[in-house]
Amino acid sequence: MTESDVHLYRDGSMVGLSPVSSAVQEWFAENVQNEPWQWLGPTLWIDQRMAPPLLEALTEHGFSVS
């Protein structure tokens, strides 16, 4: 069984994305604009309305999300 590159969490109107693999961590650093306060530990929290384009970009780049 292959581990996902990103773990997805939902909590009300917020979506959490935890980049797991080193490749996706690097991709996040280069491609995702965020503020330090959006990170809670290893998880980036964003408004649910911002999640679909980010999830689409992740899958287009070959990353798996679960």
Tell me how far apart the alpha carbons of residues 57 and 36 are, in angstroms, rounded to a whole number. 21
In a domain, 66, yes or no: no
How does pLDDT run across 4-18, given as a tens digit for each residue? 999 999 999 999 999
Residue 42: inside a domain, yes or no? Answer: yes
pTM of the model: 0.91
Helix (H, G, I), strand (E, B) or coil at 26: helix
- Domain range for 14: 6-60
41 pLDDT higher than 90: yes
Is residue 50, in this structure, part of any structural domain at all? yes
Domain count, the chain: 1
Q: pLDDT, tens digit, for every residue of 21-34?
A: 999 999 999 999 99
Tokens representing 41 are: 């530990």
Q: Domain for residue 65, yes or no? A: no
Q: Is residue 39 part of a domain?
A: yes
Give domain status of residue 1, yes or no. Answer: no
